[in-house]
Structure 1
Amino acid sequence: MNIFKKQSRIKWIVGSLIVLVVGGSLVGFANNDKRNFSIVKNLDIYYTLFRELNSYYVDETNPEKLIKTSIDEMLESLDPYTTYIPEDDMEDFKFMTTGEYGGMGSLISRQGDYVVIAEPYEGFPAHLAGLKAGDKLLEINAVRVVGMPTSEVSDLLKGPPNTPLKLKIERPGTNKPINIELIRKKISINPVPYYGMISDKTGLIMLNNFTQNCAKEVSKALTDLKENSGAERFVLDLRGNPGGLMDEAVKIVNLFVKKGSEVVSTRGKVSQWDKVYRATSEPLDTISPLVVLINRGSASASEIVGGSLQDMDRAVLIGQRSFGKGLVQTTRPLSYNAKLKVTTAKYYIPSGRCIQALDYTHRNEDGSVGLIPDSLITEFKTAGGRSVFDGGGVSPDIIMENKKYGNISYALVAQNTMFEYATRFVLENDKINAPENFEISDEVYEKFKQYVATQKDFKYESATQDALKKLKEVAQREDYYKKSKTEFEQLEKMLTLDVQKDLNIFRKEVSKLLGSEIVKRYYHQKGAIKFALQDDQEVEKAIAIVEDSAAYNGILNGTVLSHAGDKRNVKATN
């Protein structure tokens, strides 16, 4: 398409947009001629600017890229959830909402110039074809991928179900490349990666995201635990669950509350779209003790489930305050098969509170977004009269300290040191104990320490070093550094890293992370979950609460003090 055709096409698009915007505006803003004129004026300015830029800029421009950048920047000024989805990204969008895609079923990650298999999903083509964690991808369907961006490699691996995929890989411990052939399949990731008994009468259900039909998976797990395992108490784990489809959240709440109960309502600018969502089916269990686990990674639909069950006094919440996303997005169709995901409303849980934490409408002068001010935090009441608050996220009834890892642990994960050692471990060990009994022995940990010592590129800063660096920067700005230069140098020398010493200091957490990486190689994701449950303080607290009827009922009826009713906690944990 030549430059004149491009400009004509863009002019037609902008002209159509003016008609649509103004035409739509005239319906709701018949008396707002000034606003309509402003829209037309600025769209015309945009078109003429783009035309001049495209015609006279010194280098050749990419019109699609320029338009995409301008759209993205415009939407970013509103909130991070209002996004433009071009046709090329529709498959990724579909995966986010359905959990399904066409491919081989594995996680990939980058290590230097190579994209490697990070985790083949159990039972899917990658696993069945013999791919292993640590395999380096050399070619995909005869296309060399060494040095190729991870996103492009991912696109090559994906494709319509029942189409062939030929891979050439390099496997640690082998001398020559390996050719692997497989057939892509429809990959559907189960949103319930694990459920099982965690005590004689207590069942755990883990939910990773709110994709289509996730409520059916939770229902299956709940029914199986009740009928086949004798579960009488339940823990629903929503930690790290970023949310998803609101309808699925309503259905999950419906499993535990009476038909007709209000679960959530939405209110926005277009009042015709305001809606109250109620439980429409007969529940599975309205009586059994229930604990919901949440943390800072629990957002959106997770907060609807946790907050609604709390507001109805149906569950005790344990963990950390949730993320605080109380905004509802609606997907609107655009031309050329693109879509706009736009924030259209806020949602409100049964007590009437909105759990949105950040105020995107009233930004600070520097453009940053602030929390809802303390003066606007409002008290609400649960069905039984307990105090709860809005202003950002859902506060658990029992707050557990957030697990924080040392800098060395982050570095060992981020620099793939644990991943690479686990790959080596598998070459030397045909099998390990069952996940629930596996542990990193003294011998294995010593070998790991020796391995880390050989990694010359392994670098990190301790939290103390990081704090000293910041103090040094402040001192230099305020001219105190020259006066105390000797003391700063002495401190820096004292704090010189001793990796082996830190590996001993942080052995417990490093062993836990390393053990999880190793267990995944033998028992996949379910095995890693079982291994993690060996020492999960929040799960242990949940078991203690559901098995202590006095403590459980005391929280729900308000006779036992709950953190959810502490207004100070709204800000303290954000």
Structure 2
Amino acid sequence: MFKKLKYILIIGITAIVVFAYKGIDESSFEVSKNLDIYYTLFKELNMFYVDETKPGDLIKNSIDKMLETLDPYTVYIPESKMEDYRLMTTGQYGGIGALIRKAGDYIVITEPYETFPAYKAGIKAGDVILEIDGNSTKNKNSSDISDALKGQPNSEVKLVLKRPGTEKNIEKTLKREEIKISSVPYHGVIADGIGYLRLSSFTEQAGAEVKAAFTDLKENNKITSLVLDLRGNPGGLLIEAVNIVNVFVKKGEEVVSTKGKISDWNKKYTTMFQSTDTEIPIVCLVNSGSASASEIVSGALQDLDRAVILGQRTFGKGLVQTTRQLSYNSKLKVTTAKYYIPSGRCIQALDYTHRNEDGSVGKVPDSLITEFATKNGRKVYDGGGIVPDIATEPIYLSKIAISLIEKNLIFDYVTEFVLKHDSIDNPEKFSISDVDFDEFKKYLSDKEFDYETESEKELTRLIDIAKKEKYYEKAETDFAELKLKLSHDKNYDIQKFKDEITELLNEEIVSRYYYQKGRAKSSIKFDDDVKKAIELLQDKSKYDSILVAGVDIKK
């Protein structure tokens, strides 16, 4: 009996092994077969196509299209884009330290970074780049100029610039430096005892930068509460998210875990260091632009009941990417896992695995959304980003404001404003006067810009439908009257949205004199979410009541 059982067991194990090997062989054969087809197809295409082909472009396009069928985050990074990838992950690059944009036939400096070569050389926002190392920049795109300005630290680059209000061209020779863009562009005190810390990215050392900024606020400004601003932060390195949570959470607390197809990607990330402060009240600001690592930080702080989250629902990216080295110094950034915050929920909003018939991606249906609990027992949910404890309405720019920005009319007016004003008041106090606003309106009087309101778009759509359904002639007079009433009036809109346009002008003007920190200080003055955060932190009983058990953070 024992021998028979042993024999059956051996046969069973052998069958499993053979079946497993068969599965592996079939999978390997499928890969080999399709690679062979691809190779022979490409060889025939390159040899016999009627016109000359560009093999590199064909391959790159085929790779990109293949990866697009998976998710937006799995991407191929060729050697030519390694500098951009390095900037994205480290915040560092070799260059002059300035933002640029296309303006007509040339490229314009939009903002030099303080302390870096462009700033030290006296280059200003509004300067037009005419030449780089003797080569004309006319009709070049921003990417080409950006590549030309970047280079090895300590190498020189010669620029010829045209400055508005100056007749002669300006020649500058700059020595490139290692440019490190701080993940914390601004921190300061915004009310009595209340600190503010803006985090714009999760590049290398972001955790250390947050800790240093927070320590400065505590030790040198004696803050007793904090506003942590993650709005518009698209994320970055997962480990830096863990390090940032660690500033406010005790050692040994789980922040995030990852689960993938391969067991190597199944990991738990816990806080590894002593925290800086586990008690200080925190309001964390988020919006739809807060994604990935931003959602790990805000989600972990919510799940651990360590902060009140205020703002709008976050983006909903619960996928983790890993970079794999390829041949010829290229890389593959591939989605390898999903991440789960302390309550156990994954906040991925879009289901890339189960696409619709037309190939589009749908959101996780409500029927599959699951309830979880925070450390204190508050109800939270998966499947769609981080839902704030206190929800606020998003603020959208008016159509006229968007048009003024897109046409660079605010930027160009401020360039002229700076020529007439050597200095302005500090960022917290400065605001343009009514006289200045009237000057801006005069400036716009001979400028070409236009826009279409949502009402006008919908009316056009309604007219098209009426024509198709043969009802237009019957209501033609009514449509004409409605069109006249809904047609936008630029002069009326400029006055109607004066406060909004004034804020944009203030921020741009302040940035010319006080750079990135000044822009941040100016924007905070008009920020409704920041004002709500201050009000909450000044009401301790209300703050505490939000974090107690029984609270249901709605889907």
Shorter-chain TM-score above 0.5:
yes
Aligned to 1:493: 484
Aligned to 2:352: 360
CA–CA distance in 2 between the matches of 1:294 and 1:334?
Answer: 36
Would you say how many aligned residue pairs link Structure 1 and Structure 2?
Answer: 538
Aligned to 2:41: 49
Asked whether 1:202 is paired with 2:194, we answer yes
- Larger mean CA deviation between 541-550 and 90-99 belongs to 541-550
Partner amino acid, structure 2, of 1:513? L
Structure 2 counterparts to residues 337-352 of structure 1, below 5 A: 337-352=329-344
CA–CA distance in 2 between the matches of 1:220 and 1:28?
Answer: 53
CA–CA distance in 2 between the matches of 1:485 and 1:57?
Answer: 55
Distance 1:352 1:167, change over 3 A: same
SS of match in other structure, 2:547: helix
Distance 1:39 1:484, change over 3 A: farther
SS of match in other structure, 1:291: strand
Q: Deviations over 1:518-551 (max 9, x none)?
A: 1111111111111111121111111121221111
Aligned to 2:495: 504
Percent identity for Structure 1 against Structure 2: 55
Structure 2 residue corresponding to 1:523, chosen from 501, 514, 526: 514
Q: 1:318–1:398: 8 Å Cα contact kept in structure 2?
A: yes
Structure 2 residue corresponding to 1:430, chosen from 422, 435, 457: 422
Aligned to 1:534: 525
Aligned to 1:552: 543
Partner amino acid, structure 1, of 2:254? E
The offset of 1:297, in angstroms, is 0.5
Asked whether 1:180 is paired with 2:167, we answer no
Asked whether 1:378 is paired with 2:375, we answer no
CA–CA distance in 1 between the matches of 2:321 and 2:272?
Answer: 22
Partner amino acid, structure 2, of 1:481? Y
CA–CA distance in 2 between the matches of 1:29 and 1:64?
Answer: 36
Q: 4+ residue runs of structure 1 moved beyond 4 angstroms? A: 26-30
Partner amino acid, structure 1, of 2:500? E
Aligned to 1:566: 554
Q: 1:406–1:463: 8 Å Cα contact kept in structure 2?
A: no
The offset of 1:316, in angstroms, is 0.4
CA–CA distance in 2 between the matches of 1:414 and 1:178?
Answer: 27
Structure 2 counterparts to residues 247-286 of structure 1, below 5 A: 247-286=239-278
Across the aligned residues of Structure 1 and Structure 2, the Cα RMSD in angstroms comes to 1.5
Partner amino acid, structure 2, of 1:82? T
CA–CA distance in 2 between the matches of 1:490 and 1:29?
Answer: 75
Aligned to 2:72: 80
Structure 2 residue corresponding to 1:232, chosen from 212, 224, 235: 224
The offset of 1:32, in angstroms, is 4.2
Partner amino acid, structure 1, of 2:412? E
Partner amino acid, structure 1, of 2:267? K
Structure 2: any 5+ residue segments left out of the alignment? 1-17
Q: Deviations over 1:404-429 (max 9, x none)?
A: 11100111101101000010111111
Structure 1 residue corresponding to 2:309, chosen from 295, 313, 317: 317
The offset of 1:500, in angstroms, is 1.0
- Larger mean CA deviation between 488-497 and 102-111 belongs to 488-497
CA–CA distance in 1 between the matches of 2:467 and 2:370?
Answer: 44
CA–CA distance in 2 between the matches of 1:317 and 1:475?
Answer: 46
Structure 1 residue corresponding to 2:475, chosen from 462, 484, 504: 484
Distance 1:30 1:212, change over 3 A: farther
Distance 1:37 1:395, change over 3 A: same
Distance 1:105 1:29, change over 3 A: farther
Q: Deviations over 1:168-189 (max 9, x none)?
A: 1111111222111111111001
- Larger mean CA deviation between 173-182 and 133-142 belongs to 173-182
The offset of 1:333, in angstroms, is 0.3
CA–CA distance in 1 between the matches of 2:19 and 2:387?
Answer: 42
Asked whether 1:70 is paired with 2:62, we answer yes
CA–CA distance in 2 between the matches of 1:430 and 1:28?
Answer: 77
SS of match in other structure, 2:23: coil
**TM-score of the two chains, using structure 1 as the length reference:** 0.92
The offset of 1:28, in angstroms, is 8.0
CA–CA distance in 2 between the matches of 1:347 and 1:524?
Answer: 37
Aligned to 2:145: 153
**TM-score of the two chains, using structure 2 as the length reference:** 0.95
The offset of 1:38, in angstroms, is 2.2
CA–CA distance in 1 between the matches of 2:294 and 2:191?
Answer: 25
SS of match in other structure, 1:123: coil
Structure 2 residue corresponding to 1:189, chosen from 151, 160, 181: 181
The offset of 1:29, in angstroms, is 6.2
Asked whether 1:169 is paired with 2:176, we answer no
Q: 1:85–1:338: 8 Å Cα contact kept in structure 2?
A: yes
- Larger mean CA deviation between 494-503 and 381-390 belongs to 494-503
CA–CA distance in 1 between the matches of 2:39 and 2:324?
Answer: 23
Aligned to 1:4: none
Aligned to 1:10: none
The offset of 1:489, in angstroms, is 2.7
Distance 1:30 1:436, change over 3 A: farther
The offset of 1:431, in angstroms, is 1.2
CA–CA distance in 2 between the matches of 1:169 and 1:72?
Answer: 38
Asked whether 1:387 is paired with 2:406, we answer no
Aligned to 2:466: 475
CA–CA distance in 1 between the matches of 2:142 and 2:357?
Answer: 37
Aligned to 2:10: none
Q: 1:317–1:397: 8 Å Cα contact kept in structure 2?
A: yes
CA–CA distance in 1 between the matches of 2:358 and 2:325?
Answer: 33
Partner amino acid, structure 2, of 1:426? V
SS of match in other structure, 1:195: strand
The offset of 1:30, in angstroms, is 4.8
Q: Deviations over 1:24-67 (max 9, x none)?
A: xx998652443333222221211111111111111100000000
Asked whether 1:111 is paired with 2:103, we answer yes
CA–CA distance in 2 between the matches of 1:210 and 1:132?
Answer: 28
Partner amino acid, structure 1, of 2:314? S
